[in-house]
Structures are given as structure tokens and as C-alpha cells.
A and B are shown apart, each in its own frame.
Chain A
Amino acid sequence: DVKVTQSSRYLVKRTGEKVFLECVQDMDHENMFWCRQDPGLGLRLIYFSYDVKMKEKGDIPEGYSVSREKKERFSLILESASTNQTSMYLCASSGGGLGVNYGYTFGSGTRLTVV
């Protein structure tokens, strides 16, 4: 079974801090993405990556950046955390590459609180 591991289950950070959320998958998947889930707003895509060093903006990239230096690891960076970035963050991966997708497997999520 594919394993997608997010480094932290719960995180509390202060406003203005730089925050790194890490996601690692163990199945040599090409596709990975980060999304956030908020009550009443559902799930929204932040960034997508279909290969090492390749990234595409999702619906809500503002205030975020990403890094994919190695295939198995996709990092989400909050450049200067703000309270409106308090959310549940989910990482997912799938095999296939750009234009192909065999179904995503999700990590267990990181609940981030910015105070």
C-alpha cells in the first residue's frame, strides 16, 4: 500500500513565522499536491506537482510556496503565517505523471493553528 506521510499531525505557529509542512510518499509517484480543508469552504487545491522541480498553482496559491527537490518529498511553505491560514492541510500523491492519474492517496493531514 502507498504510504503518504505528513510530518506533523498538529502544529501551532505564531503570526509572521515561516512554516514548513513536509510530505513524503514511498511509491515513486510523479503527482503530488497540497490542499486545505475548511468548514463551509470544502477542499481547495493550493499547489500541484507532476515531477521533480515542476509545480502548478492551484486555486489558492497566495501566501504559499512549494518545493519539490526530490520525487518523494513535497514541501508546502507558508512564507509568513497568518491567522487565515489556520486550517487542515492535506497532502496527496498518485502515479502517472502530467495528464495521467491513477487515483490519489492522502496523508493523514496536518492541523495548523496560527496564533
Chain B
Amino acid sequence: ELKVEQNPLFLSMQEGKNYTIYCNYSTTSDRLYWYRQDPGKSLESLFVLLSNGAVKQEGRLMASLDTKARLSTLHITAAVHDLSATYFCAVDSNTGNQFYFGTGTSLTVIP
């Protein structure tokens, strides 16, 4: 069974600071996804990474994928309060018929 681990689970950071969330997965997969979830809401797609070395950026968030290391990172630059949310990574199996979520990282940005 594929396992997807994120760290940290909880992150409290000050506005203006930088930080990285890590997502490790346990088996071969070329596709990794990042989602954001606000309290009481559903998941919103942030990034779709479909190959080794893929890097995508949107605003203060940048995601990358290293399929050889089975690692994806979500880098936050100059955090602002609006980024406070829970962030999930997810991986699907190469056969495409299973989808595994990471444990989630609850981010709180403090003024």
C-alpha cells in the first residue's frame, strides 16, 4: 500500500517568513497533487505535478516534484495571513485506480 507522509503536521509561522512543507511517498508514482482546505470547506486544487523535476508557482506558493527521491515540496515565500489553511499532498498509483492523501499540514500564519 502506498503511504504518503507530510511534515510538519502543524506549522505556525510569522507573516513575512519563508517555510517549506514536505511530502514523502512510498512507491513509484509520477503524479503528485497539492490541495488547500479551509475550515469547513472542501479541497481546492493548487498544483498538479506530472513529471520528475516539475516546478509550479502561484503567488507565494511554489511546488516541486522529485520522483526519484519520492519527494515533493511546497515552499511558502513571505507568508501572509490569507495562507492559513490545511495543505494536503496526494499521489495516485501508476495504474491510476487508487488515490492516496497525505496527512495534511495545518498552517497558521500569525501577524
Residues of A bordering B, CB below 8 Å: 31, 33, 35, 42-45, 48, 50, 56, 58, 90, 92, 96-109
User: Which residues does B use to contact A, with CB under 8 Å?
Assistant: 31, 33, 35, 41-45, 48, 88, 90, 92, 94-104
A45 touches B96 (CB 8 A): no
Pairwise interchain contact B96-A99, C-beta atoms closer than 8 A = yes
Instruction: Report whether A50 and B97 are in contact in the complex, using a CB–CB cutoff of 8 Å.
Output: yes
Q: Name B97's closest neighbour in chain A (CB-CB).
A: A56
Contact B96 A42 (CB under 8 A): no
Q: Which residues of B contact A48 (CB under 8 A)?
A: 97-99
Chain B, residue nearest A99 (CB): B96
* A to B contact number (C-beta, < 8 Å): 61
Most buried by B among A42, A98, A103: A103
| Chain B residues whose C-beta falls within 8 Å of the C-beta of A106 in the assembled complex | 35, 42-45
A98 vs B96: C-alpha distance when bound (angstroms):
5
Kindly list chain A residues whose C-beta atoms are within 8 Å of the C-beta of B103: 42
User: How close is B37's CB to chain A, nearest CB, in angstroms?
Assistant: 9
Nearest chain B CB to A74 CB, angstrom units: 14
A-chain residues with CB within 8 Å of residue B41 when the two chains form the complex:
108-109
Q: How far is B43's CA from A107's CA once the two chains are assembled, in angstroms? A: 8
Contact A42 B42 (CB under 8 A): no
Contacts of B96 in A (CB 8 A): 31, 50, 96-101
Instruction: Assess A102 versus B101: contact at CB under 8 Å? Given A90-B42, A107-B42.
Output: no
Least CB distance, A15 to chain B, in whole angstroms: 25
